[in-house]
Amino acid sequence: MTHPPDSSSEPQVPHPETPGQSLTPDATPLPAGALLPEDALLSEGPLPAGRLPAEPLPGGDRPPRRPAPLPPEARRTEGFRSDHADLDRLSTGALVQALADDQLQAVNAARDAAPALARAVTAALPRLERGGRLVYAGAGTSGRLGVLDATELTPTFSWPAERAVPLIAGGESAIRRAVEGAEDDREAGQRDVQAAGVGPDDVLIGVAASGTTPYVLGALAAARAAGALTISLSNNPGTPLLDAADCAVLLDTGPELISGSTRLKAGTAQKIALNTLSSALMVRLGKVYGNLMVDVRTSNIKLEGRALRLVMHAANASESQSRAALLEANGQVKVAVVALRLGVSVREAARRLDEAGGHARAALGEA
């Protein structure tokens, strides 16, 4: 005895046989990442079990299209960590320990990138010696880290503020609060670089954990077109940002402990790399004598005390001698040190430093 087909049974929906592969209604495979024809994406009859029926679109009688399968995610920073799948169940002590321990990978990534950072320093130095600027471009956490690095160069090394230019997707308001969608605007990155007047003597540092941020890619493209040196920092290998720059720096930190939260170790690695890059440049530009911060700007009581201790240490002078030299040198540590060490006037010390390109060691005849 035959039985009629069960009219309540649901049609079988074909599934891709391999990840990233879709099937047409006649089971012909499509290449990975390909989009299905519109008719194949429309809901035909009942949906599979467990799915809610499609609601008609406002103003139309056709149900919403089913999206094509999500292509495989190649960016390591978007990966998932199986070793801490129960992170939210840890005790507070264990949770804090896990988060702190994971930051060690940021240090290792920055150490692995040291040769690339050294090449970037070597390439950037001649442009800055000719009066060029450091320009930073980023979005979100990466953009804010660029703002931080640019801002700190002035009090630490007396680097002129106008020669450290941070560009962040969404503008200054994005420093404090997120500006949705700003990072996806490639043309905005190009416009910001053009508005900043970036030229051949400038150095643009593009920072993006993903390595695919359109705003940063646009900024990098505009800077290269203007003849500037371009440096890129990315936390994912094989990304467009690394391919687009003159000097590519990979900070391969891998998946985050909290999946996708690149403000964690990816951001830490970026901070280390930016610190390393800009500090090495300042050392090469004569902003440091030995390991002493002799170009510090004495803008508050703490820094005034630091300046005095630096002069006393570097010149092997008494507190009263150092105070007097600093006062006469208008708070310039390097000038006071050279004056005391050589036994010359502050004016003569400043002249010798100028002749030596600002390098204290050369002015002291120690080069």
Q: Which residues are catalytic?
A: 152, 183
Residues 6+ apart with CB under 8 A from 217: 186, 189, 206, 240, 241, 244
CA gap 340, 357 in Å, rounded: 19
The length of the chain, given as a count of residues:
367
Give Cα 119 distance to the centre of its chain: 18
DSSP structural state of residue 29: B
Give Cα 2 distance to the centre of its chain: 69
Nearest to 251 by CA among 239, 236, 232: 236
Q: What is the dihedral of CA 239, 262, 144, 174, to 10 degrees?
A: 100
Helix and strand counts by DSSP (H, E) for the chain? 14, 5
CA gap 333, 292 in Å, rounded: 10
Q: Are 42 and 65 in contact (CB under 8 A)?
A: yes
Give 118: exposed, middle or buried? Use CB within 10 Å, 0-12, 13-18, 19+. middle
HSE-CB at 134 with a 13 A cutoff on CA atoms is 26
DSSP structural state of residue 82: G
Nearest to 90 by CA among 79, 108, 102: 102
Per residue, what are the HEC states of 45-58?
Answer: CCCCCCCCCCCCCC
Q: Are 325 and 308 in contact (CB under 8 A)?
A: no
Q: Which helix (H) or strand (E) holds 232?
A: strand 229-234
